[in-house]
A and B are shown apart, each in its own frame.
Chain A
Amino acid sequence: MLKRLRERMTPTDVVMWFIGAVILALVIWGSIATLSEGKYSSHHWFDFIVFGLAQGSIYALIAMGYTMVYGILRMINFAHSEVFMSGPYTAYYVAAAFYSSGFLDRQPIVSLIIIFLVSMATSTFIAILLERIAYRPLRTAPRLVPLITAIGASFFLQYAFRGLYGSGFQAYPVVKILEGEWLFGEFRILKFQAVVIIAAALLMAALYSFIQRTRIGKAIRSVSEDKETSSLMGINIDRMIVTTFVIGGMAAGAAGVLYAVMFKQVHFYMGFIPGIKAFTAAVLGGIGNIPGAMLGGIFLGLVESVGPTLFLDGLGIVAPYQLKDAIAFILLVLVLIFRPTGILGERLAIKKA
């Protein structure tokens, strides 16, 4: 047994496992130190977790777009962060008009629904354009080519929106019904965070059941398994690919409004950081796997929110939130050391690429 293990492990594996074990030990040691200090009460931890869930569900929605496109085209759609940006940035003008006319205060629910629809429509439109102009002509090209186009398209869209809406930022109006908090005993939750978490969960459930239960969903899954066989079975591949982009665009547009409700600022560069984080989430969960992307997003959000305090505060590290990205990416490395395909990623029997 031991001998077989020794034969299978290369020196690199040993080093990687060693690094993994050290990180894991540090994480556990830091957590125990923080918890035994008793500086934070249970409602603090509850707050940290809620903040993380809200941020994480936005990552998860964006990550779905990355993972679905990867699943069907085996390419990373780096312009997806701009799909995410285009929706809420455009919907801002609708929101501002509603706010100044007083409609937002009189009919907050109707306005929010319209804002959502505008944002989702814009993001979807941009996603379709991307697929049609930037990716479809290159579908048979070597894999690196669409990757470069994606980066180019990302820059193009950023600066197109900069030209369209200006280089400054815009502030979303406050929606009064979403302000304030709900109390559950001694725990409290901010209203809009509850709304963000619930809305994201509903959307993800809807999209997931669409992929799993409907005929179109089945067709999309079959195209992502094997394009040629699917087309032999009478599936219109182009249409399925466009549908994938549409679903990803809708999720990104919805995520954009949730982001705007939470953070209020929109600008042409706003997609970059959430885009990178969502991509990380998709890899974390196992790229190509939809529940994986959701799980990865929520995991990443939680780590960013809880991690710095839990892991580092007990170790006596000052200003731990500066290191929140470092923690998130170190954990990504950790996950990939132990599970190279991501949390839910399946081991592929045949290499699809």
Chain B
Amino acid sequence: MKRLFILLLILTLPTALITNASPASAQQAKSAFKVEDPMGVVKVKPGGPVHIACWFVVAGPDASLGTDTKRGVEIAIEDKGGKVLGFPIKLTVQDTGCNAEGGQAAATKLAADPTIIAAIGSSCSSEARPGAPILWKAGIPTVSPSNTGPFLTDPKRGPEYEGYLRTAHNDKVQGAVAAQFAFKQLKVKKAATIHDGSPYAEQLQAVFVETFKKLGGTIASQEAVAPTDTDMRPVLTKISTGKPEFIYYPLFIAAGGHITRQVKEVKGLEKVALMGADGIFSPDFYKAAGEAAVGMYHSSPDFSAFGAGYKTFLERHQKKYGEKPIAPFHAHAYDAAMMTFAAVEKVAQKGPDGVLYIGRRALRDAFYATKNFKGLTGNLTCDKYGDCADPRIAIYKTSVENIKNLVLPDKPFWKPY
């Protein structure tokens, strides 16, 4: 018992010292100058790290989506020489699992760390819905490189999303491009959609349906599965009774792979055209779907429209990780990281004691004030709801070689512009 007491004493001692010490240094600083912020001020001691967090899906079937963006952030940090304003950058990564629960858990963990200045993430829109408000409550703004769900930047999204921005495109754009492609290029008159109940898939197919109907097409059925479902044959059999020529299923890798493999096994769907979206535009999806994915279409950011720096980025990526990017959002992540560093540089003030002061509200405002930011993905300008992307969406078609070598196609198959 006594020993336990001593142990506790030893453990509490450093914390006591720190809590005693910090007001003293703050007082010193106060005499020289003052940084105030309604959401609090983060102080970075000389030599101490500027702490940035990533919340991405880096495990499970959708790990490629998050790993790809993580690499984008890492390359951005390298390009900054690992430092911002002379302070080393510290990166923390939390896995989010590509579901609401994972997003909530990751955001809660990050929000509990007062040293974190800004976050980059999340990967899936379902994670951001509960996660972004938790982070913003703790004064942490977050920039997502791959959330595309329209509601996150909707005018009606509510003040709890005020700290949220994204460099990824809004699916209002992506869904419309997909519908135009199906109707105008493939001359499809009757289409079916499948979503998995996630906000990303549900809203994306809704935009598709709306645009497709407006163009004059008919929708045979709008079905749904669960993201963990494996047996898609029953739902596909149900779809086959509507006789669609085209199935649009903007899902994630596990369910998307099952549908692609099983669709040709269902009577009446042998000749149907298949199309997915950016969530399954990945070599991992090719692995999951196998040869069944040959001839399939994907909507994705148009890599050929990216800025001049993209080529060097790809070379750096190849050198560092020994492969080509494994999902579509690495460049968006690079831009999100660079935007974060630019915002920190704009807002941070160095005190006479060498301490860096960063106001949380001021940092968020600096993010939102981003204008004509030259990124890899284009010129980024944030609107008042946090949409910063310069969205150019193209359609890609998968070939036999793509499946054989597990590489994404290089050139777009079709562009709306």
Contacts and interface: CB of A to CB of B under 8 A. Distances in A.
A255 B48 CA distance: 54
B261 A168 contact: no
Contact of A43 (B235, B267, B284): B267
A169 B61 contact: yes
B198 to A, nearest CB: 11
Interface in A52-70: 52, 54-55
Q: Which of A263, A273, A321, A325 has the most CB of B within 10 A?
A: A321
B265 A190 contact: yes
Contact of A51 (B237, B241, B287): B237
Interface in A24-53: 39-40, 43-44, 47-48, 51-52
Contact of B61 (A43, A52, A267, A273): A267
Contacts of A306: 234
A214 to B, nearest CB: 35
Q: Which of A259, A263, A304 has the most CB of B within 10 A?
A: A263
Interface string A162-193: 10000111110010000001000000101000
Given A167-B58, A171-B288, A321 B261 contact: no
Contacts, number: 100
A43 B241 CA distance: 11
Interface string A247-266: 00000000000010011110
Q: Interface of chain A, helix or strand or loop or mixed?
A: helix
A51 B257 CA distance: 18
Interface string A208-237: 000000000000000000000000000000
Nearest to B287: A171
Interface residues of A, number: 41
A265 B60 contact: no
B231 A304 contact: yes
Interface string B331-356: 00000000000000000000000000
B197 A264 contact: no
A131 interface: no
A274 B351 CA distance: 59
Contacts of A324: 226, 229, 234
B218 interface: no
Interface in B249-303: 253-254, 257-258, 261, 265-267, 284, 287-288, 290-291
The 3 closest A-B pairs by CB, nearest first: A319-B224, A322-B224, A167-B59
Interface of A: 39-40, 43-44, 47-48, 51-52, 54-55, 162, 167-171, 174, 181, 188, 190, 259, 262-265, 267, 269, 273, 304-306, 308-309, 313, 318-322, 324-325
